[in-house]
């Protein structure tokens, strides 16, 4: 029986790509899920709208903003488990609007931490980080002890958020674990990420593939596996106070990924590197590869979906949802 069966769970960032997959997995685990959607006047549910109606009907969808401390205290109160995913994530936009990243990623995380500290019902908070905080790998695979390097305003804001979570554990004994996923991909990811960018161009019949740098490598992990890793950490008391990687333990370059998607889609076209898609030279993270020994030791979690199978599932979903993508322009 899942440790979550009948337990009250709160998810921030539930309307996002990974958040929607986590909500789906939590419902399947028997949890009573309250899902936070960023307030908008259209009453849009984000990617939660892509979840089958029979699953979504059991979810309590609430609106709000993690930058609002009063609202967060109200929504966290009485919840047994909190999964904190809400953040601004696009790296290119962080070069243009760093203040927004500090307000949401650091300030918003502080509000969640304060709310959880005041919540007597809390069993565990899973704070979600990112592998971008490591910068370019100084050793591979990357262990949790790897130095933190703020190579973009986005990664710097996430380092700040992670350190706030650490401080609340050390200062107040808050039962928080920091989950550090590597490059999650899958259905519902937008074209701000490289795999949907590649797949959308190929599936829309482009006669060339327009990308940024081709040599950087990433540890790509399928969304369902990332969600399962977060749930595994939520149920692991031994993980409290720790930072734990979630990744595949495999490394693929952007060019290798593009070639594999060409095979899967049957579209073989030349690749053109566009300058506007390049990060500033000292901001590019050239290599990411997760050391996943700790999560395996703590929880027994391992990834279940191969990279090729995950790409095939993703390409199939993008092919059925091309209306969400505009391959003609670079999405920041």
Q: What is the pLDDT of residues 211-223, one digit of tens each?
A: 988 999 999 999 9
Answer yes or no: are the C-beta atoms of 177 and 292 closer than 8 Å. no
- What was the pLDDT predicted at 281? 62
Average pLDDT over residues 174-186: 98
CATH number of the domain bearing residue 316: 3.90.25.10
- What was the pLDDT predicted at 328? 67
DSSP per-residue codes, 208-265: SEEES-SS-EE-EEEHHHHHHHHHHHHT-GGGTT-EEEE--S--EEHHHHHHHHHHHH
Q: What tokens appear for 179 in the block?
A: 């989950």
Q: How far is CA 300 from the centre of its chain?
A: 21
Q: What is the span of the domain harbouring residue 72? A: 8-185+221-246
Q: What is the pLDDT of residues 32-82, one digit of tens each?
A: 999 999 999 999 999 999 999 999 999 999 999 999 999 999 999 999 999
Q: Tell me: do 143 and 214 sit in the same domain.
A: no
Q: What is the pLDDT of residues 238-288, one digit of tens each?
A: 999 999 999 999 999 999 999 999 999 999 999 988 766 655 766 677 899
Answer yes or no: are the C-beta atoms of 287 and 140 closer than 8 Å. yes
Q: Assess whether pLDDT exceeds 80 at residue 84.
A: yes
Residue 295 lies in a domain: no
The pLDDT-based confidence of 330 (bands split at 50, 70, 90) is low
Q: Tell me: do 14 and 107 sit in the same domain.
A: yes
Q: How far is CA 164 from the centre of its chain?
A: 19
The pLDDT-based confidence of 326 (bands split at 50, 70, 90) is confident
Q: How far apart are CA 155 and CA 152, in angstroms?
A: 5
Bridge partners of residue 36, in order along the sequence: 62
Q: Tell me: do 16 and 32 sit in the same domain.
A: yes
3-state SS assignment for residue 81: strand
- What was the pLDDT predicted at 332? 47
Q: How far apart are CA 30 and CA 295, in angstroms?
A: 23
Half-sphere exposure of 154 (CA within 13 A, CB side): 19
Q: Assess whether pLDDT exceeds 80 at residue 111.
A: yes
Residue 107 lies in a domain: yes
Give the number of other Cβ atoms within 10 Å of residue 266's Cβ.
8
Residue 329 lies in a domain: no
In whole numbers, what is the pLDDT of the chain averaged over residues?
94
- What was the pLDDT predicted at 324? 86
Omega cis (within 30) before 141: yes
Number of structural domains found in the chain: 2
Residue 23 lies in a domain: yes
Label the pairing between strands 243-246 and 209-211: unpaired
Q: Tell me: do 15 and 63 sit in the same domain.
A: yes
Lowest mean pLDDT among 88-92, 105-109, 146-150: 88-92
pTM score: 0.95
Q: Tell me: do 62 and 201 sit in the same domain.
A: no
- What was the pLDDT predicted at 32? 98
């Amino acid at each position: 029986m899942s440790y979550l069966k009948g337990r009250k769970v709160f998810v921030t960032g539930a309307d996002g790509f990974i958040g929607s997959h986590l909500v789906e997995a939590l419902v399947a685990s028997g949890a009573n899920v309250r899902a936070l959607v960023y307030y908008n006047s259209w009453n849009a549910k984000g990617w939660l709208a892509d979840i089958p109606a029979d699953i979504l009907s059991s979810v309590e969808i609430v609106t709000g903003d993690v930058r609002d401390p009063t609202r967060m205290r109200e929504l966290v109160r009485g919840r047994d488990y909190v999964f904190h995913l809400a953040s601004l994530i696009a790296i290119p936009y962080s070069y243009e609007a760093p203040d927004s990243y500090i307000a949401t990623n650091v300030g918003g995380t502080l509000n969640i931490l304060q709310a959880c500290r005041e919540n007597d019902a809390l069993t565990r908070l899973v704070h979600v980080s990112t592998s971008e905080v490591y910068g370019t790998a100084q050793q591979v695979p990357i262990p949790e002890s790897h130095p933190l390097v703020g190579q973009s305003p986005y990664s710097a804001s996430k380092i700040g958020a992670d350190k706030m979570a650490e401080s609340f554990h050390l200062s107040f004994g808050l039962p928080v674990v920091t989950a550090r996923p590597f490059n999650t991909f899958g259905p519902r990811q937008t074209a701000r990420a490289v795999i949907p960018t590649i797949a959308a161009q190929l599936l829309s019949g482009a006669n060339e593939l327009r990308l940024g740098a081709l040599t950087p490598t990433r540890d790509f992990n399928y969304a369902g596996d990332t969600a399962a890793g977060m749930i595994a950490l939520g149920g692991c008391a031994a993980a409290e106070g720790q930072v734990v990687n979630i990744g595949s333990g495999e490394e693929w370059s952007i060019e290798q990924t593009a070639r594999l998607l060409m095979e899967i889609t049957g579209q073989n076209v030349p690749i053109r590197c566009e300058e506007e898609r390049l990060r500033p030279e000292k901001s590019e993270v050239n290599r990411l590869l997760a050391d996943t020994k700790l999560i395996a030791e703590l929880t027994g979690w391992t990834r279940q979906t191969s990279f090729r199978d995950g790409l095939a599932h993703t390409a199939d979903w993008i092919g059925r949802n091309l209306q969400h993508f505009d391959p003609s322009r670079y999405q920041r």
